[in-house]
Structure 1
Amino acid sequence: VALLFSAAPPSTFLYGLSANIAAVLLFGSCTVPIKRIETGDGMFFYWVSCAAIWIVSKVGDLLLSSPTFYPLAMLGGAIWATGNIAVVTIIKSIGLGLGILIWGSFSLLMGWTSSRFGWFWIVPQQVSRPILNYCGAGLCLLSGMIFFFVKSDVALSSESETVPLLIDRVSSPSSINVSFLALMLGCLLAVMVGLLYGSCFIPILYIMSHSPCPDSVYYGASVFAMDYVYAQNCGIFLTSTVYFVIYCAVRSNKPRVYSRAILPGFLSGLMWSVGTYCWFLANNYLSPVITYPIVTAGYGLVAALWGSLVFKEIKGVVNCSIFFLASCVVLTGSLLTALSKLL
């Protein structure tokens, strides 16, 4: 803690830390409202949550006096919405805690490599201790591999589209361990989602990094990250609407609509959108190379606590030991990544 305070004024650190903690709690809990709610194939819930994200960001845009709208930021929203379409399938396959921890690990790696090495024409961020930085990123990748060996006890049904994401085990004696095929599918999807999530902020970082360049079309653009949240969320809502329309067309205009998923879906989207504002606010006080590891590792651990302690998805001494080891590895990797900038 003393090290962190030495790197930034106390007030700046406290503001950034508070925003970081809020983002961690909101991101790690945003899928909890739908755990016991029937979502079917997840498409209706997906669209409702994205609509809520847009509504919250519109309010935020008005509060920020409607800063300049850059369409490129919408691309980040489209990337995020593309990844988010698989979230329900992942949670049904491997559970809440394991799913978020896997995609959080790969999201951290994607976000770290793109900003550290300047991928996609972003100005690379320098660190004072490159070795610590590389070790931290390597541990995050290792943690994702360890998570593959954790077996989640997730209830399955022959009519998986008509059951909640988590069945009450007391009233459902037919619950069985997730199959190996479902486990592999869920883990693979979680990796892909993590890579997409880690890429969704690249367009915003591109705009901000080219703001000082006189020959860039983004010259003079705001360097306050919260100014771009609305544009990004417009991309989320537009892309999710396109996907939902395609889904309705494929199902011959007979989508699976679950009315009970409306309020939980709205709450989930609200939590995610507010969490994004908190994260971007933290970036204003602390650099992204610090906040990204803390947020991605932190919300994964929050989700893991929900999944293991509340929903009992992880059972058995061996399973819990592997789960604990992987959590420690991702936390250590995130800490090393942050310290590489602060030391």
Structure 2
Amino acid sequence: MSNNGADLTFGYISCFVAILLFGSNFVPLKKFDTGDGMFLQWVLCAAIWLVALVVNLILHCPKFWPFAMLGGCIWATGNIAVVPIIKTIGLGLGILIWGSFNALTGWASSRFGWFGLDAEEVSNPLLNYIGAGLSVVSAFIFLFIKSEIPNNTCSMDTTPLITEHVINTTQDPCSWVDKLSTVHHRIVGCSLAVISGVLYGSTFVPIIYIKDHSKRNDSIYAGASQYDLDYVFAHFSGIFLTSTVYFLAYCIAMKNSPKLYPEAVLPGFLSGVLWAIATCCWFIANHSLSAVVSFPIITAGPGFIAAMWGIFMFKEIKGLQNYLLMILAFCIILTGALCTAFSKI
């Protein structure tokens, strides 16, 4: 097999692993109360940084580019909305929506050269456009799928159980998410999922920018590595730094009485490790396939995995109409992913 063929195979295998882990990384958290998510996101990001440290040591500590941290900052900003999204519209629907907008943003920025990037070319542009377009269509279909998420978690029956596991009980044990009405649940959840998706789709822009400008002798990034994994430590450091800043700001806003959930620590850490491994696979896929191919595939696939968890384990999505919409959306996603994959060949 030629080197190009081996790269493609390795890239698609990396896509598969990333899809599986991205679609499952929040599953460990579903059975635990996570409050408003601010404490959880910090635990998750700490785990992410530790994985990056291990990867950095394995790679013999490649040069650290501070600008690559910006991508991590962007991702961490989108990540603070994850818990409210899952609480309002569910794991499956949440990942489906933010994954679709993630795909569109990441694909468009690479394909058309947004934010100072070099526009990426593919062997078959028409198939690539069709694949990206189908991702957009699937996003609109997902908006019509109704998930069944309990919204009465602040009742007198549940409050004692919640406060028993919260370190600080001087505040109202119910988060702002729990107090939303059913209609507001859906509006807030879908809106946050869209915003997070756009931010997630921009997370690789600084790294791709460095790689593109490394080929220019007059650039400060001249000679920078073309191997995406060399930027993992900087990227993940940006994630941990930003999440820490947000958590400290949260502590200040809560007057030094943040809501801490000890039972969520280990599940949150596991979730962070799974996410970090998946993202490393995504870095490899970007290197082997290019972002214009990897984005539509990796961002669309986890929705299928998450929806399966939501349907069969958590019972978030029910009803014949929802099932039919899900099947239609999955068919569109699969077709789009195949079109995108073959556009590279």
- Residue type of the alignment partner of 2:285: A
Partners of 2:342 and 2:328 in 1: how far apart? 21
Structure 2: gaps spanning 5 or more residues: 163-180
Q: SS of the residue aligned with 1:341? A: coil
Partners of 2:339 and 2:10 in 1: how far apart? 22
Larger CA deviation: 282-291 vs 190-199:
282-291
> Is 2:50 aligned against 1:55?
yes
- Following superposition, the deviation at residue 7 of structure 1 comes to 10
> Is 2:105 aligned against 1:110?
yes
Instruction: Show the counterpart of 2:344.
Output: 341
Q: SS of the residue aligned with 2:278? A: helix
Q: Of the candidates 66, 70, 74, which is equivalent to residue 69 of structure 2?
A: 74
Q: SS of the residue aligned with 2:343? A: helix
Partners of 2:265 and 2:119 in 1: how far apart? 42
Instruction: Show the counterpart of 1:172.
Output: none
Q: SS of the residue aligned with 2:293? A: helix
Alignment of 1:168-317 (within 5 A): 179-317=182-320
Partners of 1:127 and 1:6 in 2: how far apart? 19
User: Quick check: 1:52–1:266 contact (8 Å CA) kept in 2?
Assistant: yes
> Is 2:60 aligned against 1:65?
yes
Partners of 1:196 and 1:316 in 2: how far apart? 32
The C-alpha deviation readout for 1:99-134, integer Å capped at 9, x for no partner, is 001100000000000000000110100123322222
- Following superposition, the deviation at residue 327 of structure 1 comes to 2.0
- Following superposition, the deviation at residue 268 of structure 1 comes to 0.5
- Residue type of the alignment partner of 2:263: R
Partners of 1:315 and 1:131 in 2: how far apart? 36
Q: Of the candidates 148, 152, 167, which is equivalent to residue 153 of structure 1?
A: 148
Q: SS of the residue aligned with 2:237? A: helix
Report the CA distance shift for 1:7/1:323 in structure 2 as closer, same or farther (over 3 A).
Answer: farther
Larger CA deviation: 286-295 vs 64-73:
286-295
Over aligned residues, Cα RMSD in angstroms? 1.9
- Residue type of the alignment partner of 2:330: S
Partners of 2:313 and 2:117 in 1: how far apart? 41
- Following superposition, the deviation at residue 42 of structure 1 comes to 0.9
Q: SS of the residue aligned with 1:246? A: helix
User: Quick check: 1:289–1:338 contact (8 Å CA) kept in 2?
Assistant: no
How many pairs were matched up?
A: 324
- Residue type of the alignment partner of 1:314: I
Instruction: Show the counterpart of 1:329.
Output: 332
The C-alpha deviation readout for 1:255-302, integer Å capped at 9, x for no partner, is 000100100010011111111111112233322222222211111211
The C-alpha deviation readout for 1:119-151, integer Å capped at 9, x for no partner, is 011010012332222222221111111111100
Q: What is the TM-score of this pair, normalised by structure 1?
A: 0.90
Instruction: Show the counterpart of 2:28.
Output: 33
User: Quick check: 1:61–1:67 contact (8 Å CA) kept in 2?
Assistant: yes
The C-alpha deviation readout for 1:213-260, integer Å capped at 9, x for no partner, is 000000000000000011011100000000000100011100000100
Structure 1: gaps spanning 5 or more residues: 165-177
Q: SS of the residue aligned with 1:104? A: helix
User: Quick check: 2:289–2:344 contact (8 Å CA) kept in 1?
Assistant: no
Percent identity, please: 55
Partners of 1:133 and 1:14 in 2: how far apart? 19
Partners of 2:70 and 2:290 in 1: how far apart? 22
- Following superposition, the deviation at residue 41 of structure 1 comes to 0.9
Larger CA deviation: 45-54 vs 129-138:
129-138
> Is 2:17 aligned against 1:14?
no
- Residue type of the alignment partner of 1:261: A
> Is 2:128 aligned against 1:133?
yes
- Following superposition, the deviation at residue 16 of structure 1 comes to 2.1
Report the CA distance shift for 1:7/1:69 in structure 2 as closer, same or farther (over 3 A).
Answer: closer
- Following superposition, the deviation at residue 311 of structure 1 comes to 1.1
The C-alpha deviation readout for 1:154-202, integer Å capped at 9, x for no partner, is 11225299689xxxxxxxxxxxxx8222112111110110000000000
Report the CA distance shift for 1:134/1:18 in structure 2 as closer, same or farther (over 3 A).
Answer: closer
- Residue type of the alignment partner of 2:74: I
